[in-house]
Structure 1
Amino acid sequence: MKEANAKRILFLTTLDVTIYSFLIPHMKILKSMGYEVEVAASNVGFTDKIEKEGFKVYNLPFRRNPFSISNIKAFLKLYRIMKENNYLMLHTHTPVASFFGRIAGRLVGIPHIVYTAHGFHFHEYGNPLKNFIYYRLEKFAGKFTDVLITINVDDYKVATEKKLIPHGKVVYIKGVGVDLERLNPRNFKDNKESDFLSDNNRFIFVSVGRLEKEKHFDYLIKAFYFVKKHYPNFELLVIGDGEEQVSLKKLSQRISLKDYVRFLGYVKHVEKYLYHSFAFVFTSSREGLPVSVMEAMAMEKPVVAYNIRGVRDLVEDGVNGFLVPFGDIKELSNKIIYLMEHPDIAKEMGKRGREKIEKEFSLNVVLQDMEKLYKKVLEET
């Protein structure tokens, strides 16, 4: 076996969008430390942008569906890449790539294998059979992991209590970091653009995420059905694409919310919508540490959300928003109505939300923690 290259590191994700959206600053830390950082991921349209940032990208045919035969092909290609380049460290993200990548990394003898779990796929509201399968997969892949980074308190507790990393260690770092310079309501003080608002007298609510079943946008829309009975002066902006869009549009029509709910699709920069909004509502059942919630808090918006893993790390009930028992649609609407009736309280909650992000979850804070971790890992022999 060849000796590891003392300066070469590989970042691995299932899709390249994860790298481009969240991990460029992390890779730049390692680059500033003198390491050569490369990327392996499936190209879904962001590879050129990553390479413009100065990082070589290997295209792998990974798919998010863990049972896709394409993942075996990606594994074999990844194994060859790893063997040829003799990396000093592998840092994996996202479940599929991380499962195959850690196995391949150990087979070729990469000295340091780091895995960031952006929310385990087994969770408190998950299907029992799927939870069992995902747990066993994580337990198996944990044997090939030196450092597991968890991004919320619940996952940290599970990983340590269940000894998911039997031969390594578990650390807790608060997410990927929020860019407070980009997400700053002060940037919009002189911005009069509000062409997406149909009526400035309406309460504008925003929700962001992939339109898939686990995000439960159907609960969100049903909650606003109850809101409408009390206060019909609102507009709900749903930002994101996904397979549930058609059914969600039909639902909004069926319960007479067609004129109240706007589906905006994918939006690159959500900050202008957040700036003009009144509050942020979030109905997901599974998260690691939701970036969309952190972005809303950074833009000084109160958050009404279900009390789930990751979200409760961010939202303090009654302080910077409200936490509602998962699946309780009526209580979700009650909290939304409360904010509409108490706009001063809503505004104060929004300010507290940004303060929490500044103190604990900003990009600067997270990058400092990551730099310390990288130095500690790479200094080990």
Structure 2
Amino acid sequence: MKKVLIVSTVSRQFYLFEQANIRVLRKLGYEVHGAANFDDRSERLKEVNVIEHHIPFQRSPFTPRNVKAYKELLALVEKEQFDVIHCHAPVGGVLARLVGKKFKKAKVIYTAHGFHFYKGASKLNWLLFYPVEKWLSKYTDQLIVINHEDFNIANSKFKMKALDLVSGIGVNFDKFKPATPSLKSEKRAKLGFKDDDKILIYVGELSKRKNQKVLITAMADVVKDYPNAYLLLVGRGALKAEYKELIASLGLEKNVRMLGYRDDIATLMQLSDVALSSSTQEGLPVNLMEALGTGLPLVVSNCRGNSDLVENGVNGQIISENEAGFWSQTIINLLGKPQVLAQYGVKSLEKSKLFSEEEVMQEMQEIYSK
């Protein structure tokens, strides 16, 4: 039986982002192995049921402990003689390709879920990460990217044997789908919301990169025009205490709800009116693809990944400047135009077909079969 090794820095990659790939690989007759640091082990690993190999990867690319991880990965590949090595994440991607270049039999695939160098990134990011990726591209048989900015950089600058743009990880649109008006009303009532409330949702880690701060600040002006407007922040993260303090200082405890980790995101999407993303950078954001399938209009910051999913004035709006004043002005304007929001929602649903699980599985089957 052919064997494939999926390499990631942490094991949650397998059940969060690799389920479609694993199904495709099994369909093609591969025995699927996974190498990662399994210190973040979850019961959800049972969903993918890969043959596990614990490699002590460290997320920081600068720690000498990754030398040990490299040696253990090298020994594993030498022992198992994999036909395909498919690697992810910066550290996993670097070490797996360094190992893979020693084994000519193995086809080395790297999926970049968003390069660390991008329009607007710091000079330090470009100095540290760009040369490494460019050098390693010559040891990459197949490079997969998930947004147009990364594709254009790789296509013009890198030396991989093959390059493909894939539509993300694939979303299950049987789960993320629009709600009927009656179902939307029912879901709202269960959480204490009324039919005429204006509900905005942003799903993401509470972090500087996701930049919820600008939305919280913007809500102080939004509620002056729309006292029944609510911002749902779904996710957990290091900035929880800071954001909670900011919400209190602005008197927004009623209108900005920090919901923490939730396993009912599809329901929260269905009861919402608009999906937001104020990120400073993205690869191809899953939260927005899920919102597309739910038929929500999108209002997003102008960054890589976001701009791949939103056509300005078609299925939402792109904020020109990621500042609170621009956000509040745009939100207030759109909440006063329900017909425009409805049109945006229809176009979102149409666009979602490009990012379905079925579409991505077909794309990946073609790549794995090359």
The yes-or-no answer on 1:368 pairing with 2:362 is yes
Q: Distance in 2 between matches of 1:104 and 1:298?
A: 39
SS of 2:18's equivalent in the other structure is helix
When residues 326 and 98 of structure 1 are mapped into structure 2, their CA distance, relative to the original with a 3 A threshold, is farther
> 1:379 maps to what in 2?
none
Q: What is the identity percentage for the equivalent residue pairs of Structure 1 and Structure 2?
A: 32
The yes-or-no answer on 1:77 pairing with 2:75 is no
Q: Deviations over 1:233-258 (max 9, x none)?
A: 11111111111111111111222222
When residues 198 and 155 of structure 1 are mapped into structure 2, their CA distance, relative to the original with a 3 A threshold, is same
Are 1:188 and 1:275, in contact at CA under 8 Å, matched by a contact in 2?
no
Q: What is the Cα deviation at residue 75 of structure 1?
A: 2.1
Q: Distance in 2 between matches of 1:43 and 1:189?
A: 44
Q: What is the Cα deviation at residue 25 of structure 1?
A: 1.6
Map 1:1-381 onto structure 2 (within 5 A). Answer: 7-46=2-41, 48-162=43-157, 164=158, 166-186=159-179, 190=183, 192-194=186-188, 195-358=190-353, 360-376=354-370
When residues 149 and 276 of structure 1 are mapped into structure 2, their CA distance, relative to the original with a 3 A threshold, is same
Unpaired runs of 5+ residues, structure 1, are: 1-5, 377-381
Q: Deviations over 1:143-191 (max 9, x none)?
A: 32111111111110011111x2x25221111111111111112489657
Are 2:201 and 2:276, in contact at CA under 8 Å, matched by a contact in 1?
yes
Q: Distance in 2 between matches of 1:41 and 1:196?
A: 39
Q: Distance in 2 between matches of 1:263 and 1:78?
A: 41
When residues 350 and 63 of structure 1 are mapped into structure 2, their CA distance, relative to the original with a 3 A threshold, is farther
The number of residue pairs the alignment matches comes to: 368
Are 2:206 and 2:236, in contact at CA under 8 Å, matched by a contact in 1?
yes
Q: Mean Cα displacement is larger for which, 347-356 or 128-137?
A: 128-137
Q: Deviations over 1:44-83 (max 9, x none)?
A: 5455533453321212222332223443332222222111
Q: Distance in 2 between matches of 1:97 and 1:310?
A: 22
Are 1:210 and 1:241, in contact at CA under 8 Å, matched by a contact in 2?
yes
When residues 123 and 52 of structure 1 are mapped into structure 2, their CA distance, relative to the original with a 3 A threshold, is closer
Are 1:99 and 1:141, in contact at CA under 8 Å, matched by a contact in 2?
yes
Are 1:61 and 1:74, in contact at CA under 8 Å, matched by a contact in 2?
yes
Are 1:50 and 1:57, in contact at CA under 8 Å, matched by a contact in 2?
no
Q: Deviations over 1:181-230 (max 9, x none)?
A: 11112489657344334444421111011111111111121121221232
SS of 1:123's equivalent in the other structure is coil
Are 1:90 and 1:110, in contact at CA under 8 Å, matched by a contact in 2?
no
Are 1:212 and 1:242, in contact at CA under 8 Å, matched by a contact in 2?
yes
Unpaired runs of 5+ residues, structure 2, are: none
> If the length of structure 1 is used for normalisation, what is the TM-score?
0.91
SS of 1:213's equivalent in the other structure is coil
When residues 288 and 171 of structure 1 are mapped into structure 2, their CA distance, relative to the original with a 3 A threshold, is same
> If the length of structure 2 is used for normalisation, what is the TM-score?
0.93
Are 1:17 and 1:44, in contact at CA under 8 Å, matched by a contact in 2?
no
